[in-house]
Structure formats: structure tokens, C-alpha cells
Structure 1
Amino acid sequence: MEFSLLIIVLVLLPVFTPVHCQVACNAKSGAVRQKRIVLSNPGTGELAKLDTCQYRVAPWSGQVCQVRLDFVRLELPQPQVNANSGLLECVDFLQVQHFRLCGRNSGQHLYLPIRRGQELQLLFQLATPLGKQSSWQLTLTQLECPRDSLTLNTRQPEVQTPTVRPILPFLGNFLPRTIFGGQSGIGSGSGPAAQLIQTLTLPSVADLEMLAPLGCDQYFRTTTGGIVSFNFAGGIYMPNMRYSICVKGAADSEISYKIEHFELSKANSEQSGPAYDTDCRSTVLTPLRVSDYLGIPNSYMVSRPELQATYYCGNGLTGQELVARPPFVLRFASDSQSSASETGFQLTYTVRRSQESPVTAEL
């Protein structure tokens, strides 16, 4: 009997493997539950009738802890200055968790943490005629963590999600408990079928490779690459943003950042000279405080190794090379104010074996 059921499991397994599906917005069928999903804008005629376009994504399994969202194409209207407040804001936008994005962001990505059983909602607000001409194609990939690494919020109500990947949704109630785990439920026993089910609950190697470290909103896993601020192609970065950009590295490595473009606002913009630390982020919180910066901890400027700042702003970094020690994290922040100098940043990076700098050698 046990062997027969194991054969059934093995035969049916390929039928229920994850698929790459395409989802329409405002779907009446409710939340979609797939490991990898493509979200595309409706056709021009249908999009023109919509004021909003919403997607709901249910967790693929009880072990989903992150979602990677790749913006294959994301073309929305540019942020506008509010006539009443005088502040820059997104009128037509994509809202996902605490991120509100507008403008041109094709090629960007985000990592979104997910609590056990939590649905992910994506809302496109299309408030203007330009918004109804927006275009997007997003690839959403659900990533699973090892079971013992999940952080559970015991105050949240229990959500009915599968405890294993939903490849056998209709067999769970028919499999004998003596094979699949007595009173502890499916997959808790020691038989061959139970061992198979337990194997299915483990994250794949691909998932473990893709998981971002805690606190990283963007994660770059290659040893070389390029990084740009959101809406860099549109010529102005998003207001009121806080996010962390991480690059995969090792304890015995360092990273070189070559700055190709860098224009962030700074305090006392009329004064010349380097723009770092208190020029970018005052330690005293005041109304309308200028707080636009790119934080690069444990870094120094190759042309001025004695200068080891943490926060950078202004336009003095263009053409410079910075070297930083682990951890490789960039922290970008912007306030609600805007000016013509706030065009953002573009850089390339290279992770390499650690090389002692002159300053480090003296310490």
C-alpha cells in the first residue's frame, strides 16, 4: 500500500510543478497562487477605462519569506510638483508595501519580505490621462526559506496556507496517516512517502541562492554590475525614499565603485567644496531638513584616501572611484523636496580580493 501511494506521488509530481503564469489585474478569481508570475498591463482600450489596477498574490507555500519583483518594463508618468504643498509627489504610481514608484524604472528590481501566510498586493494608481497610457511587465518570484529560519508573528491570526508545496492539493485528505505521519500531519512520519513529502518542503538551491540578506531592498549577486537610482532614466529620483542596496561579497573581499553620474541635493548648495556627512544628513532634525544622500559605510575615495566619509551628496563624486569593505551596502535616502540637481546616481561596481590601502596600512 505504501509503495503504491509513493508511485502515485511520483507519477503525479510533474503535473503540479511550478508554472510561469500570466495574470490580469483586478482578477475576479481572487489571489493567484503560483511561484513565478508575470504581471502585464491590460491592452490600451481596457487600460483607458481603469482608474486602478490591482493584483493579489497568495503565498506559494508556508515557507515563502521573500518575493523578488523584477521590473522588466515599468513606464509610468513622471512625479509632479503639488501646487498646494510645493512638494514633489507621484500622482500615477505603483504601490507595493511601503514603496511608491513612478516614472521610468525598467530593469530595476525589489526584494519584499513576506510573513508566513501574508498576501502581497500590488496597486497601480492611474489618476490622470497620462497614467492610462502606462506600460508594465513585472516578473514576480516567490522565494522560500528553510523552515527553522522563518520568523513567525504569533499575534497574527493563523492563515490557511499549505504546509508543503501545493503539488498534491487533492490527495492530502486521502493519504493514510500511518504512512505520512500519525497525529503530526502529512510529512511527519519516517516512511518513503513521508520522506518524499519532507524533501518537497525544502527550498530549492535556486531559492537559497536568490535570497537577499535581511534588510536588503535590492540585491546584486554578480561580481560586476551596474546600479542606478530609481527613475534615473526620467531625470529625477523619487521623493521620500529609503532603501538599501546590497552586493554579494565575502569577508576577504572589497568592492570598487566607479561613479559615472552623481547629482544629489545638499545643504548649503551655494558653497563649494566636498559634500559628505553633515552636508548631506544633518544630525539635528528640523522642518524641511535636506536629507538626500547615498550612504557607503567603510569606504574611502581612491583619489583622497584620507577622506573616509559615510554619506555622500552634491555632485562632487562624478568620475571618482570609491573602495569599501564588507558588508557591501549602499543606503539611499531622499526627502520630499526637489530641485533641478536631483537627477540621481549611476555607478558600476567590481567585487575583488581585498587590497590594503595606504591609510589602512598605517592603522
Structure 2
Amino acid sequence: MRNVNPLSNFMPCLSTNAEEMGICLLAPVCTYYGGRSTGGDCRMGLTCCVNEITSCGPLITFNNTYWQSPAVISSESSCGLTVKLDQYLMEQRKPVCQIRLDFQAFSLAQPNTESVCNIDSFQVAGALNKIPIICGDANGQHMYLMLPRASTSVQLVMTLGTSSSPRYWRIKIAMLPCDSEFLAPEDCLQYFTTSTGSVMTFNWMDTTSRATRQLASQDYYICFRTELVNRQSSGQVATMLCLSHCQVANGQPFSLSGRVEARSQRLESSSCANDYVVFPGGFSFPMTEPVNQRDRFCGTLLSQMDEADTQQTICSTAKPFRLLYRTNGDETLTPSSDSPQLGNQGFCLSFEQKLT
């Protein structure tokens, strides 16, 4: 341990149980800063120190900090946290270009029938990209916050109204230096780095309820890193991204607009004017006749065909692989509105990168 500066190593690390991220510190220093020693994969006698915050109003400077909801949450209140950014701090040492938020647990009150988060909400201040206001459920979701070059802080704020619904959250806050290999492309709120998986909108859930779960005023890009895919045991760069409905037990895997369940966008040109997803160069796979390549999809079923009642796999060869998800500010007020009897759910889509 001789000549080891207790503040000389703030490298990211993984806890012994492989369930938490932290930073490498000497155990006494970890305790001094209020962290929890977890062993982990650190060297030179250091421990993987997990920093947890369980209060409102703190200022944090450590990478891989977990913000846990307080034991007691009051209605008609707010609970915030500030991430301080300073490359001259010993625990940062480099300029931070992005922050990644991982919602390991997240539940606030649901939106109203117009899809507005009018009781509870989570908001971010200080980012360059568009960060949507969210509420409801977001377990397993993530966000990338793009930071201004001279950024000194970012604020995360929970605004809580009057509700009997349980509120809780656990958010991992990762600071990504400007030279990190894990940076997301510019303007991407979400970034997926596997060849297969699922992507869902905030507050989507596999549920029997048909109450509105889609959130108002969403406007963000979902991006996918181009991956290697195998063909005859040799890895090749994927040339196509394909989307299809998630497998669900009771929920609606695709429900952005419309008056009936399991029906794709209507014939009218205005049918995808309010709430929709843009998938550039989308086409059905395998191709169907007539070929109807389109970019914009809505309704309650994913299909290239208008007024269809059978879902299709939609693929695109346009790179970079990305989606644009956009909703307006209501469900029933804007012309070409949705039926109040059918609350839209958002979407859950399985994705797979392939070779053409």
C-alpha cells in the first residue's frame, strides 16, 4: 500500500456481486465519503466503492452514483439532485461530455387521460439535447444527457403532486468523459449497443389496462450502434435493422394513435400527424406487394400497409440506424384525435440487426 494516494484512483469498477457500479478507492476513504465498500475488481488494495444518495437536494461529484428515493416522500413537494461538473476535481480529472442515467427502478403517478404528467414528473435541466418530461414507470430505461462544453452542473428534479400511488426511484448516474468509447451519437436520447434486444417508450408496460400510458410531448431519437452479426461463423457488419412487435401477455406492443386495437395507420395523410415513430426507409420484410416504403408509422399495429390488421416486421438499410419518436401535447383535443375510449400505450418493439 506504500505510495498509494487514497484519492489517486477513481476508475469505474464492478461490485463483487456484479450488480452495482462504483469507483475504486481505499476502504477508509470510501467510508469517509459516505460510500459502501463492495470488494469488486479493483487492484492495489482498493475496493469498489458504491456511492448512494437517499436524500433530496445533495450535490454529487462522483461517477456511478446511485440516487435512491428517500424512505418518506411527501406529496406536494419536489426532490432534486445536482451533478457538479469540474474537470479539476480529483474525482473527475477530465471534462465530462455526457451523463447516462439508468433507471434501475422508477415509478411515479400515471399521466392523465390527455397523456400529460400533471401530478408527478421527472425533469432534467442543463442538457443540450431534448430531454422529455416523464412520469409513470420507467424500470430498465436509460437516457443520455449531452452537455454544453462549459457545463458546470446538471439538475435532476422530481416534482410530486397529491397521489396515493407509491413513488420510488433508483437512478444510476454515470459521467462519461469526452474521450470515452461509450459516448452516444449526438442528439440520441437512447443508444443501444447490442445486435438484438427490445426498445420501449417511457411508461410502456405489458398490462391488461387500456388507460392512457403514452406520454405527451415526447420528441427524441433512439439510436443503435451498428454491430457485427454472424453468418456462417464469421462476423460481418450489419446492413439492416429490423423491428417487430414485442411478445406480450396482455399489453399492446404498438399503440400510438387510433380508434380501434390492432389496426395500422389510416388512409388519410393526416393520420400520423400527432403521435408517430419515424423509421427512415422502412419496408416490410419479407417484402409484400405492393411495395409501400414509408418512414412514418402510427396506429395500433406496426405495418407498412394502411388500415392493416396484421403486423409486419419493418426493416431499413438507412444508416445510422435510428428512430424518431414524437407525440403531441394531448390525446383527444387536437384535430384527428384519438378515441377517449382507447388510451394509447406507446410501444415495445423487438429489434434485430441483420445482413441483407
Distance 1:280 1:244, change over 3 A: farther
Counterpart secondary structure, 1:350:
strand
Whole-angstrom CA distance in 1 between matches of 2:185 and 2:170 = 26
Instruction: Identify the match of residue 288 of structure 2 among 299, 304, 307.
Output: 304
* 1:258 shift after superposition: 1.5
1:77 to 2:148 alignment: no
Counterpart secondary structure, 1:102:
coil
Partner of 2:254: 262
* 1:273 shift after superposition: 6.8
1:33 to 2:65 alignment: no
Distance 1:130 1:276, change over 3 A: farther
1:335 to 2:325 alignment: no
Whole-angstrom CA distance in 2 between matches of 1:247 and 1:333 = 18
Distance 1:277 1:309, change over 3 A: farther
Whole-angstrom CA distance in 2 between matches of 1:87 and 1:137 = 24
Partner of 1:313: 298
* 1:341 shift after superposition: 4.4
1:323 to 2:315 alignment: yes
Distance 1:61 1:249, change over 3 A: same
Identity %: 25
- Structure 2 matches for 1:91-170, cutoff 5 A? 91-97=119-125, 98-115=131-148, 116-130=150-164, 133-146=166-179
Question: Where is the strand percentage greater, Structure 1 or Structure 2?
Answer: 2
Instruction: Identify the match of residue 227 of structure 1 among 199, 203, 208.
Output: 199
Partner of 1:241: 218
1:88 to 2:74 alignment: no
Whole-angstrom CA distance in 1 between matches of 2:69 and 2:117 = 22
Distance 1:222 1:277, change over 3 A: farther
* 1:298 shift after superposition: 1.7
Distance 1:26 1:328, change over 3 A: same
* C-alpha contact 1:277 1:310 (8 A) present in aligned 2: no
1:293 to 2:321 alignment: no
Partner of 1:52: 78
Distance 1:252 1:348, change over 3 A: closer
Whole-angstrom CA distance in 2 between matches of 1:273 and 1:48 = 42
* 1:276 shift after superposition: 7.9
* C-alpha contact 2:214 2:256 (8 A) present in aligned 1: no
With the length of structure 1 as denominator, give the TM-score of the two structures: 0.66
Whole-angstrom CA distance in 2 between matches of 1:269 and 1:352 = 33
Give CA-to-partner distance per residue, 1:246-285, whole Å, 9 cap, x none: 111167521111223212115x989x8744893444xxxx
Distance 1:104 1:248, change over 3 A: same
Distance 1:91 1:15, change over 3 A: same
Partner of 1:351: 353
Whole-angstrom CA distance in 1 between matches of 2:281 and 2:151 = 38
Whole-angstrom CA distance in 2 between matches of 1:327 and 1:276 = 29
With the length of structure 2 as denominator, give the TM-score of the two structures: 0.67
* C-alpha contact 1:264 1:315 (8 A) present in aligned 2: yes
Gaps of 5+ in 2: 12-22, 24-48, 86-91, 126-130, 228-236, 247-252, 303-309, 332-339
Partner of 1:360: none
Whole-angstrom CA distance in 2 between matches of 1:229 and 1:74 = 14
- Structure 2 matches for 1:54-69, cutoff 5 A? 54-59=80-85, 60-69=92-101
Residue type of the partner of 2:98?
Q
Distance 1:313 1:91, change over 3 A: same
Please provide the CA RMSD for this pair: 2.8
Count the aligned residue pairs. 267
